[in-house]
Homo-oligomer: A and B are copies of this chain.
Amino acid sequence: MIERAKRSFKELVIRRLQREDAQARRDLPAQFNGLPPSLWGYDVTADGVLGLEGLRVPELISRYGTPLYVVSAAWLRKTYEDFIRPFREHYPDTRLATSYKTNPVPAVVSTLHECGTDAEVISEFEMWLAGRVGLPGERIIVNGPGKSRAMLERAVSMGVKVINIDGFEEIEAISAAARRLGRVQPVGVRVTTSVGWSSQFGLPLATGDAFAAFERIKRTPGLEAMGVHLHLGTGLKSVDLYLRAITEVLEFGALLRERLGIELRCYDLGGGYGVPTVRGKDVWDDRMLSLGYPAREPLPAACPSPADYAARIAALFKERTPPDRRPQIVLEPGRAITSSAQTLLLSVIATKDTYGVRRLILDGGKNITLPLGWETHKIFPVQRLNDPAVRSTCLYGPLCHPGDVVASHLPLPEMGVGDAIAIMDAGAYFVPNQMNFSNPRPAIVMVEGGKVRVVRQRESFEDVVRLDGITAD
C-alpha cells in the first residue's frame, strides 16, 4: 500500500520531469528522438545510415568489425579550436594541456599535440607516453595525488614544464632528484579552495598548508616556485563557482607576492568542463530507469560553453595581476575536447523477448562502456536512422551479469542480429576504463579527410594472455 503510493508519487514526478525535458528540447528535430548526429559531425545518408566524412559507418563495421571505436581527427581539432579560441581572444597567453588520463590513445594525444597542446599527466606511464609520442619535457605538466619516487625522478630528468606538488613529501624528493641531476625544477602546488574537490587532493588554502608549502619550496634548493594548480572536479556546470575558486587562488597569488616575494608565472585552472552532449545521471534518472522509463537525454543548452567562462576569467586576471607581468593561464579540459570526437560501435549478437520486454544483447557491455553507469549518452541505430522508433528496447552486454546493461527502455526501431548501434561521446574515460572482462579489447580507427587508418589494432586472444607465457609470441 505504502509502496504503491510511493510509486505513484514517483511516477507523477517523473512525468513532470519528462514534460519539462520535452519542453526544453522542443526545437530539436523529431527524427532522432532528440539530438541529431550533426552534433558529433556525423550525417545521415538518404537510405538512413550513419555517415562520417562521406564514409558509411556500416562499411567501417564490415571492414573492421565490432566493437570498434571511430575517432574523427577533424572533430578533435574542431573541439580544441572551439575551446581555446574564446580564451585567446580575451587572454592571449592561454595554453591548453591534453589530459592523458581521459583518453590515452597515442593517435588522439598526438593529434592534439599537433594542434599545440601540452600534456597533462598523472602517472609515470603517461609521462613516458608523452615522451614516446615525441613531446619535449617542457611541454609536460605533472599532476596527481600520489607520485612515486620513480615518477618524480623521471619528471626531473625529462625537464618537465612543472610538477604540481600534492603533498609536503614531494618537495624533498624533487629537490633530491634536481640536485643529483644539477637542475632547477619548476614546481607548482595543487591547492584546494572553499569549493570543489578536496579529499585526497592538494593542500588547502584555508588551513595555511598551501602557504607553508611555498615557504618550504622557497628555501629548498633545486626548486623554483612557478605556479598554482586548481581543479574543482568533474562536470563543471557553474561558471560562478569556478570564478569564486579562481578569485581565491588569485588572492593567494597576491599573498605569495607580498609575503614571500614569489611571483607566480602560471595559473593552472584544471579541467572538469562539462560535455554538452552527455548528461550525468541523477537520482531521478535512476528512478526512471527502474520504473521502466528511459533516462532523460543530454540537454546541450544546460552546459556552459567555453565562451561563457573565457571573458569572465580573463577579466578577473586583468583585474588582479600586474599588467606588465600577466601570468600564463593553463587549462586542462579532458572530456570537453575528446569526448565527442570518438564513437563506439557495437553489434547486436542476440535478441530476446522475455517478460514482454524487447532485449538486444550486444558484443560489448560494461567491459567497454563503464561510463554509461553514471552518464546518459546518445545512442543511434547505425543502419536505421530513417525508421520510426517503435519499440522500447533494453540493451545488454554479453558478460553474464545483470549489471551488464548498456541502456534501458530506449525508443528504437525494430532491430535484430547484425544491426549495430553507435554510442556517441565515447572519447572520454571509455578507453581508460576498458577491461579484459571475458573479452579482448576493441580496435580504434581514425577517420581523416575521408580516409580510415587503424590506430590501435584489435586485441587478439593471444594478446590477452601474452604475458602469461602460455603462447608462442
CA–CA, A349 and B170, complex, Å: 10
Which residues on the B side are within 8 Å of A126 (C-beta)? 438
Interface flags for A52-68 (1: CB within 8 Å of B; 0: not) read 00000000000000000
Q: How far is the CA of A432 from the CA of B200 in the complex (A)?
A: 27
Tell me the complex Cα distance, A7–B384, Å. 51
B148 to A363, Cβ gap below 8 A?
A: yes
Decide if A316 is an interface residue (CB 8 Å cutoff).
no
A350-B170 in contact (CB<8A)? yes
Q: Are B440 and A432 in contact (CB under 8 A)?
A: no
Residues of B within 8 A of A100 (CB): 438
Asked if residues B146 and A362 are in contact (CB atoms below 8 Å), the reply is yes
Instruction: A207 to B129: give the CA distance in the assembly, Å.
Output: 55
Interface string of A98-117 (1 = CB under 8 A from B): 00110011110000000000
Checking B148, B400, B435 against A145 with a beta-carbon cut-off of 8 angstroms, the contacting residue is: B400
- Say which size band chain A's interface belongs to: 35 or more
Contact segment of A70-78, A251-259, A337-345, A461-469: A461-469
1/0 contact trace for A428-440 toward B, CB 8 Å? Answer: 0000111111111
Q: For A362, give the chain B residue with the smallest CB separation.
A: B146
Tell me how far the C-beta of A87 lies from the nearest C-beta in chain B, rounded to whole angstroms: 23
Q: Is A470 an interface residue (CB 8 A)?
A: yes
**Alpha-carbon separation in the docked complex, A349 to B400 (Å):** 36
Confirm or deny: A319 has a beta carbon within 8 angstroms of a beta carbon on chain B: no
CA distance A7 to B352 in the complex (A): 46
Q: Are B148 and A396 in contact (CB under 8 A)?
A: no
Report the separation of the CA atoms of residues A143 and B106 in the bound assembly, to the nearest whole angstrom. 36
A residues 79-127 near B (Cβ < 8 Å) are: 100-101, 104-107, 122-126
Chain A, range 423-473, C-beta contacts under 8 Å to B: 432-440, 455-459, 461, 463-471
For the complex, what is the distance from the CA of A329 to the CA of B35, rounded to whole Å? 52
CB-defined contacts of A148 to chain B, threshold 8 Å: 349, 363, 398
A309 at the interface (CB under 8 A from B): no
- Are A354 and B204 touching (Cβ within 8 A)? yes
Q: Nearest chain-B residue to A350 (Cβ)?
A: B146
Determine the chain B residues whose CB is within 8 A of the CB of A466 once the complex forms: 463
Chain B residues within 8 Å of A234, by CB = 401
Shortest Cβ distance from residue A62 to the other chain B in the assembled complex, whole angstroms: 15
Decide yes or no: A470 and B146 within 8 Å by CB, A125-B464, A169-B350, A461-B125 being known contacts: no
Q: How far is the CB of A326 from chain B (nearest CB, A)?
A: 28
- Rounded to whole angstroms, the CA-CA distance of A124 and B363 in the bound complex is 11
Asked if residues B361 and A106 are in contact (CB atoms below 8 Å), the reply is: no
Q: Kindly identify which residue among B166, B350, B432, B459 contacts A147, using a CB–CB cutoff of 8 Å.
A: B350
Is there an interface contact between B440 and A436, defined as CB atoms closer than 8 Å?
Answer: no
A-B CB proximity, top 6 nearest: A146-B361, A146-B398, A123-B438, A457-B467, A200-B396, A432-B437
Could you pull out 14 A-B pairs where Cβ atoms are within 8 angstroms?
A: A101-B399, A105-B468, A125-B464, A144-B398, A145-B398, A145-B400, A146-B398, A148-B349, A148-B363, A169-B351, A200-B404, A204-B355, A456-B468, A463-B466
Q: Supply 19 further A-B pairs (C-beta < 8 A) apart from A129-B461, A434-B436.
A: A101-B438, A104-B436, A123-B438, A123-B439, A124-B461, A132-B461, A144-B398, A145-B352, A146-B396, A147-B349, A167-B352, A169-B351, A198-B355, A201-B402, A207-B355, A434-B435, A435-B435, A455-B468, A463-B467
